[in-house]
Structure 1
Amino acid sequence: MRLRHIEVFHAVMQAGTISGAAQLLYISQPAVSKVLQHCELQLGFPLFERVKGRLYPTPEAQKLFLEVDKLNRDLQSVRRLASSLKLRQAEHVRLVSTPTLAMSILPAAITSWRRKFPDVHCKLGTQHTREIVSELLLGEADMALSLQDPQHPGIVAESLASAPMTVIAPAGTWPPVQVGTPLAITDLPRDLIALPADDPLGNRVADACAAHELALHAHTVVQTYQLARSLVENGAGAAVIDPFTAATADPARAQCRPLTPTIPVELYLLTANAAPLSQSARYLVRCIRDAASSCLQAIKAG
């Protein structure tokens, strides 16, 4: 099968009709019919039975489609990469971040960066780390921010900042003199607002508790650190969250203390191997580093 055969066959399987496949491919119906007939001629067996204007795939076509569908997804990735390479002709910065860092670090960093690069086009997106790796490898993003090192051979991870996991509790939980001082893991409140079991940082907290033969009791489970912080600010309980989200808490409504033993949290800059950053992108990295430092200084002072 030639590449054009594969494209037409895949479209017909999706649409079920010649006219539907023509619309998917933006070509004429006669062109679809001609390619499909040529494909069947080369294969030596029919791919469809034609009944009252509709095409019904033969058993051979059903088996063939399983492999063709995989190849079509690969072709889509190639097209996306080609489109990304074309966009690189004009200077712009494409940054993708996990939602946590997008809300806590990026606003100040982008504001500072814009003072020097007011005209450079910037595209910001949020994804989880697994999707971030895919975007970097496909050339859909120039750089990314995450609290995880994906440890992928095609990705370079550079630490921009580090701080311990932080306990955040409603205002008035601790005397003012204790705010900002380490809280022993053995003194954690019994009932916590926690992240789900598959959260990497949450798992590290659970492992630390297990090492001290402590049971981590969670009366509320949430999907994001931002939601945990908001619940704490409204008096719904205490939580152990990343230091960057903790730093954005309203000091009038929440108190923060680093957890001990220390569970370090790294802010990683992720880039694809052999993909140098532009001047404006490198300056944005500097602004991100400065914003992270200011964020952590604020939480220590609070």
Structure 2
Amino acid sequence: MKLASLRAIDAFVRLGGTGEAAQGLGISQSAVIKTLRQAEEELDLSLATTIQGRLVPTPEAQSLVRQAQPLFGALRRARHEADMIRVGMVNRLRVATVPGLAHSILPPAITRTRRALDESAAVEIMFDHVREHLATGEADLGISYGPMRADDIEDVALGQSPLVCVLSRDHPLARRTDLSRGDVEGERLISYGPDGVSASDSFQEALTSAGLSERVAITVRHTDTACHLAREGVGIALVDGFVISSNLVEGLAALPLEQSPLVTAYAHHRRHSPLDRAARLLLAQLQERSGS
């Protein structure tokens, strides 16, 4: 079977329709349908069925992709690597991170690392699925609220920070020097959801210990989204204090949460794969920047 057929089947099942697959692959919908029909003949398997006027994956197609997920994952990685080679980024520093830390401790560390390498380091930043990116060799370093506690992954504590409340300067609480749990009890709270990659998520543990996890009304993935919502007066953003080092809180009030539990930022790398110079430099910069 041709690679194009495998890619079409994967996209069709993963995205849920021929139109979505066509958009994801950058080809016409008719080309996707034709490829699926050819694959059905070759495999002697029904891959698509019509429901309410649109083609959707059959249970057989879903089972095929589920069982062949390592193959489809390897195919996507190979395709991505080919794209990177084509644009001259074969030798690059690859970092997988969660959005909350990508906006705070990561940018200055990358800047200093590139400066140490005479600006010669190409960098690729991938969001979420940190453990998967590391396990498959797609990332050199990972950053999350971990730890992962996996036999094949080394967890490196970078530093700790309390929770902070970010709110519009027009907010009635903005003139306070700090806020307690009681102060935010009746407020609309904005914060992150679980990262989904760690054995224990230190940010979620801090929220729970502070008695605020059940009070979050708006869940976001990105710190800038939380800060923009706070800026618009939608509510109070509960984020980690690392964000204070960024310009996201410029024009906003950032107040420490009284008696806040600490959030720990972690770096991760594959235990038995030595880091190259760029990755070692970035890890050192992350540790220095975070105070570990």
Question: Which residue identity does 1:270 align to in structure 2?
Answer: H
Stretches of structure 2 lacking an aligned partner (at least 5 in a row): 13-30, 48-57, 196-200
Aligned-residue sequence identity (percent) comes to 20
Deviations 1:83-125 (A, max 9, x none): 97xx8xx753211222222222222222211222135442322
Q: Distance in 2 between matches of 1:110 and 1:234?
A: 30
Aligned residues: 249
Q: Distance in 2 between matches of 1:237 and 1:289?
A: 32
**Poorly superposed stretches of 4+, deviation over 6 Å:** 21-24, 62-67, 80-84
Aligned match of 1:72: 68
Shift of 1:163: 0.9
- Asked whether the equivalents of residues 95 and 144 of structure 1 are also in contact (C-alpha less than 8 Å), the reply is yes
Q: Distance in 2 between matches of 1:152 and 1:127?
A: 20
Aligned match of 1:109: 109
Alignment of 1:236-275 (within 5 A): 236-248=234-246, 253-275=251-273
Higher CA-based Rg? 1
- Asked whether the equivalents of residues 193 and 228 of structure 1 are also in contact (C-alpha less than 8 Å), the reply is no
RMSD after superposition: 4.5
Q: Secondary structure at the match of 1:187?
A: coil
Q: Secondary structure at the match of 2:272?
A: coil
Alignment of 1:6-155 (within 5 A): 7=1, 11=5, 20=35, 48=44, 69-70=65-66, 72-78=68-74, 91-118=91-118, 120-128=120-128, 131-155=129-153
- Asked whether the equivalents of residues 46 and 60 of structure 2 are also in contact (C-alpha less than 8 Å), the reply is no
Shift of 1:127: 1.6
Q: Distance in 2 between matches of 1:157 and 1:91?
A: 24
- Asked whether the equivalents of residues 190 and 237 of structure 2 are also in contact (C-alpha less than 8 Å), the reply is yes
- Asked whether the equivalents of residues 168 and 229 of structure 1 are also in contact (C-alpha less than 8 Å), the reply is yes
Q: Secondary structure at the match of 2:188?
A: strand
Alignment of 1:124-203 (within 5 A): 124-128=124-128, 131-171=129-169, 173=172, 179=177, 183-195=179-191, 198=194, 203=204
User: TM-score scaled by structure 2?
Assistant: 0.64
Stretches of structure 1 lacking an aligned partner (at least 5 in a row): 1-6, 25-32, 37-46, 49-54, 297-302
Q: Distance in 2 between matches of 1:207 and 1:63?
A: 39
Pair 74,186 (structure 1): closer, same or farther in 2 beyond 3 Å: same
